[in-house]
């Protein structure tokens, strides 16, 4: 499974995906791309995009996406808020299909 961590996400969440091919947008040099340009870059290179950008799914034609989208809802963009969700993140990334969206929410 090939996972891209969006630029808006704490890059330390790569820890959740040990054993998988994981890159951050910054590592790829894509951290300043607008969403449309990022979508074009992802095609054929990644299976899943992990983001906290809740508008992403409304700005794109989901049916045309060649990757799945995992949107994480955390109170703060710090790795300690993601860690309790690591199991949910990996399962979501493994099951999401191209053009699908899976929301992961931190417990209240």
Q: Which pLDDT belongs to residue 58?
A: 78
**Under 8 Å between Cβ of 56 and 35:** yes
DSSP SS3 for 30: coil
Q: E strands, the chain, where?
A: 2-5, 21-24, 48-51, 68-73, 101-105
pTM as predicted: 0.94
**Which carries the bigger pLDDT value, residue 18 or residue 60?**
18
Q: Which pLDDT belongs to residue 35?
A: 86
Tens digit of each residue's pLDDT (9 = 90 or more) over 38-79: 988 999 999 999 999 988 777 777 788 899 999 999 999 999
Q: Which pLDDT belongs to residue 74?
A: 95
**Under 8 Å between Cβ of 17 and 62:** no
Tokens of 61: 């034609």
Q: Which pLDDT belongs to residue 14?
A: 96
- Mean pLDDT, the chain, as a whole number? 93
């Amino acid at each position: 499974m090939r996972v891209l961590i969006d630029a808006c996400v704490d890059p330390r969440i790569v820890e959740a995906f040990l054993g998988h091919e994981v890159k951050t947008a910054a590592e790829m040099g894509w951290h300043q791309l607008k969403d449309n340009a990022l979508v074009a870059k992802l095609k054929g290179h990644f299976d899943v995009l992990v983001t906290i950008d809740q508008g992403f799914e409304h700005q794109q034609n989901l049916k045309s996406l060649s990757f799945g989208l995992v949107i994480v809802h955390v109170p703060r963009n710090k790795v300690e808020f993601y860690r309790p969700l690591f199991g949910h993140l990996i399962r979501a990334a493994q099951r999401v299909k191209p053009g699908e969206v899976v929301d992961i929410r931190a417990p209240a």
